[in-house]
Amino acid sequence: MGFFRLVLVLLPWLAVGRAAWAETMGPSSFAVSYDVELRGVHVAKLSRSLKLNPDGSYEFESFLQSEGVAALVHPVTEREISRGDWANGAPRPTRYEYEKQSGKRRRDTQVDFDWLGGKVLGKDGREAWQTK
């Protein structure tokens, strides 16, 4: 019974310590790559990376590209990039970009975050928009 009391007492402190670490240290830069399979057949490659810069800015990128027979049948390339600053233990985006090429269809989206002005400016294809 004493062991469980000790765990109950220490658990909140461990959680607070972990949250404080995440707020001060933040995440680490990384780069990973995955082989994507559908029913055991290789269909695409997915890579993701997070780059943290000394000035507190970050860039997160995700890239997917169909490969092999899947690329012949349904070629797809998809890229997402988020840039911003790491503040108060969380990412604060300043720009987001999305591009997708699927066969002859193409989609481009850009979003800029104006935190001081309190608005978001975007462009989806040829259509521009903003929030207030």
pLDDT computed for residue 78 by the predictor: 95
Distance CA 13, CA 60 (A): 31
pLDDT computed for residue 81 by the predictor: 96
pLDDT computed for residue 26 by the predictor: 67
CA 59 to chain centre: 9
What type of residue is 103? Answer: G
Residue 56 has what DSSP assignment? Answer: S
pLDDT computed for residue 35 by the predictor: 93
Distance CA 95, CA 103 (A): 27
Cβ burial of 76 (10 Å; 0-12, 13-18, 19+) is: middle
97: nearest Cα among 109, 88, 114, 85: 109
pLDDT computed for residue 10 by the predictor: 45
* Tens digit of pLDDT at every position of the chain (132 positions): 343 333 334 444 444 444 444 455 568 899 999 999 989 989 999 999 999 999 989 999 999 999 988 888 889 999 999 999 987 888 899 999 999 999 889 999 999 999 999 999 999 988 988 887
